Structure 1
Amino acid sequence: MDSFILEQIVNGIITGSMYALVAAGMTMIFGVLRAINFAHGEYYMLGTFAAWWVMSHLTSEYSLAIIGGVAIVSVIAVVIGRAVMQRLVGQPFQAGVLATLGLSLILQNVVILAFGGGYKVFSGGWIEPIELGDFGMSQQRVILVGVTVVVFVALEWMVRSTRLGRSIRAVSQNIECCQVNGIDVEQVVRKTFLIGVAIAALSGILTGPINVSIYGGMGESITLKTFAVIVMGGMGNVRGTLIAGLLLGVVESLVAGYIGLQYRDSVGFIALLLMLMLRPHGLFSSKARF
């Protein structure tokens, strides 16, 4: 295989891993709430800024910043889960759209007011190069792919083998039946939301050293790309989300390499439009949730 094509595919897998990692949380939230979380990209952004703040003010250790960043965003998720997300149980789809869009604007502007609207430099991470065949890349990129695989394996184990996982699957299938049988649906929603937000924050922290520059509006494009991924993978299908995220990342990378970088971001939106027109249920059945 041509080395240039191989390099684009590898870069696409790295980017797709980030898409899949963020989308995993969004698709889990959709599975239990039947609502698209349009603020999901902001939790990715909050994770990046939280880790940047920890490294700037508390410690210079990136490994500690990962823990601190996820912990900070998890506390925010607990508050929002109780104040907003659990109240969306059983509400019309439009209520979830309006609530999460409002949260997106609030979180974005809070970060801009707190840290300014300019770009910040995310210094840190495991940036030492390693050789993979004929080309090299930073350790951070390899770790991102590895963490994505671990997270999806852990999610698969959780939803299949734990009480919380069985509750999530039950709620995703029939909320009313769960309420009748004594399952605390609101608690399941809060815990699922917390897991989804923590994964999004972790993705933001791991890609911070790769992106280098961070800013308050960086979550918008992530939300739109993530929405395209979950539609392609089948709404609520976690395993389909992984494949769709990797597929989108590889196609974007090939388009950027062969056609032009300026066309890269259009790939996700074109894929979303085609999917909605030709196969609205996605590449994988939405009935195969979790």
Structure 2
Amino acid sequence: MFSTVIEQIVNGIVTGSVYAIVAVGMTMIFGVLRAINFAHGEYYMLGTFGAWFAVDYLGLSYEASIIVGVLSTIIVAYVVGRLVMQRMVGAPAEAGVLATLGIALVLQNTVILVFGGGYKFFSGGYIEPLSVLGFSLAAQRILILVVCLLVFIGLELMVTYSRMGKSMRAVSQNVECCEVVGIDVPKVVLHTFILGAALAALSGVLTAPVNVSVYGGMGELITFKTLPIIIMGGLGNVRGTFFAAMILGIAESLVATYVGLQFRDTVGFATLILMLMWRPYGLFSTQARF
């Protein structure tokens, strides 16, 4: 019994790592734009489809498909960022909601139109099992966990020491003051948006071998998983996002095992409701962005 609980917690941590990589991009975008990106899951989908195309149609290795998936998403994110997201600086929150919902519909239906609406089998990845501390895990799951830790360490170093990271922190605190002192706010917004989309794509590519199948509507579920995480973690708080993602991943794993798999997808919003009843501003202060 105890070993089963520990095994599910380990699985939950891996699932939480997937959510964390996606959610940290969304929470950074919120930090600089003060708007929820409802199309964020679509970049997860684009990265997955880019990798699938590279493996199945171009015959590339899984390692190369990771680069193809992320780079193709970065190109799309650059276009969307230039045409739409930079115009959202200073715009009402409602404008951001409508714009990102429209982008989500366009991206999702474009992928369905090009590749079809059916499920596709993803054949790449490291699916061989490895024994770690007495537990058997697929090598791909271990890779996801390692990449998650590296991503958050890298982000922490970037926002603390790099010029762009400091600019992102400044914009997240006060846009008007940044404009007064000469910080190029649209440029910061664009770079943050591209970084967030690239992280979502990276998560999609890493998760594809575990999910096995890819389909055009897969981004919707990820978006709805991400929303409770960034709210629980404190809107715009990167460190809070990490811990909130781990809590959700572990909760989902335990509920799926001991309550029923059909209840797994309800855990996020149930946890969110309970959290907001206890701490309306989330686990961590929204003032401690980045």
What stretches of structure 1 of length at least 5 have no aligned partner? none
1:277 Cα offset (Å) = 3.7
**Residues 93-148 of structure 1: per-residue CA shift (max 9 Å, x gap):** 00000000000111110010011111000111011210123331111000000000
Compute the TM-score of the two structures, normalised by the length of structure 1.
0.98
Counterpart of 1:229, as a letter, is I
CA contact (8 A) 1:231 1:280 kept: no
Counterpart of 1:215, as a letter, is Y
Q: Could you tell me which residue of structure 2 aligns to residue 173 of structure 1?
A: 173
Once residues 183 and 75 of structure 2 are traced to their aligned partners in structure 1, the CA distance between those partners, rounded to angstroms, is 24
1:71 Cα offset (Å) = 0.6
Report 1:91-240 matches (<5 A): 91-240=91-240
Once residues 163 and 135 of structure 2 are traced to their aligned partners in structure 1, the CA distance between those partners, rounded to angstroms, is 45
Aligned-pair RMSD on alpha carbons? 1.0
Q: Could you tell me which residue of structure 2 aligns to residue 4 of structure 1?
A: 4
**Residues 16-63 of structure 1: per-residue CA shift (max 9 Å, x gap):** 000111000000000000000000000001100010011122233000
Q: Could you tell me which residue of structure 2 aligns to residue 269 of structure 1?
A: 269
Counterpart of 2:190, as a letter, is R
- Aligned with 1:8: secondary structure? helix
Q: Tell me the percent identity.
A: 63
CA contact (8 A) 1:27 1:235 kept: yes
CA contact (8 A) 1:3 1:134 kept: no
Counterpart of 2:51, as a letter, is A
- Aligned with 1:131: secondary structure? strand
Q: Could you tell me which residue of structure 2 aligns to residue 258 of structure 1?
A: 258
Once residues 114 and 279 of structure 2 are traced to their aligned partners in structure 1, the CA distance between those partners, rounded to angstroms, is 43
Counterpart of 1:86, as a letter, is Q
**Residues 68-110 of structure 1: per-residue CA shift (max 9 Å, x gap):** 1101110101100000000000000000000000001111100
Counterpart of 1:162, as a letter, is S
Range with greater deviation from structure 2 (181-190 or 274-283)? 274-283
Range with greater deviation from structure 2 (129-138 or 274-283)? 274-283
**Residues 198-237 of structure 1: per-residue CA shift (max 9 Å, x gap):** 0000000000000001110011110011010000100000
CA contact (8 A) 1:231 1:275 kept: no
Q: Could you tell me which residue of structure 2 aligns to residue 40 of structure 1?
A: 40
**Residues 154-187 of structure 1: per-residue CA shift (max 9 Å, x gap):** 0000000000000000000000111111111000
Counterpart of 1:54, as a letter, is A
Once residues 74 and 223 of structure 1 are traced to their aligned partners in structure 2, the CA distance between those partners, rounded to angstroms, is 18
Once residues 2 and 245 of structure 2 are traced to their aligned partners in structure 1, the CA distance between those partners, rounded to angstroms, is 24
CA contact (8 A) 1:144 1:206 kept: yes
Compute the TM-score of the two structures, normalised by the length of structure 2.
0.98
Q: Could you tell me which residue of structure 2 aligns to residue 241 of structure 1?
A: 241
1:269 Cα offset (Å) = 1.1
